[in-house]
Amino acid sequence: MAGGTLILHGEIGGGKTRLAGEWARVQAEAGRRVGGVLALKSRQGRRFHDLWTGDETPKEPVADGEPAVEIGRFRFRKAAFDWAEARVRQAVASGAEAVVIDEVGPLEMRGEGFAALIDDVPEPVRLVLLVRTGLEAAAAARFGRGEIAFEPHLD
């Protein structure tokens, strides 16, 4: 697996996370080391899933007085984002060949959220970025490096 950037794009709820999870599973079965975080949703709420260890942490609810990350109408636990960032950094330090970031959106385009983390991922680690359709060109311009591949979502 070479470095560069793979951008998986699609509409909200279009299957980007499922596609990235499947991609990571196939890579792991081929003996490649993949880290990163998936943003999962279920009846129990939203959470981050660490691809390297399988651990998870809830993104919500935000307790009274707890620092929050606001994305549109949503409020998430800042501690969950800090956890996700630490997990990606640990995977890179442990030899990950690729890291998945779910997702890169308006927050990252403003230099917030996971922007600094993405910038810090060293080459030749491959970036796999999940991006909403409409932001894929901006994400490629901002975070792309080396070979950039675009994959549409699965419906």
- Report the predicted TM-score, pTM, of the whole model to 2 decimal places: 0.92
| DSSP structure string for 42-70 | ETTEEEEEETTT--EEE--PPPTT--EEE
Confidence (pLDDT) at 1: 59
Domain ranges of the chain: 5-152
pLDDT in tens, 116-145: 999 999 999 999 999 998 999 999 999 998
CATH number of 5-152: 3.40.50.300
pLDDT at 35 > cutoff 80? yes
Q: What is the pLDDT of residues 4-33, one digit of tens each?
A: 899 999 888 888 999 999 999 999 999 999
Contact (CB, 8 A) for 114 and 101: yes
Specify the pLDDT at position 155.
Answer: 34
Residues shown for the chain: 155
Specify the DSSP element, H or E, that contains 94.
none
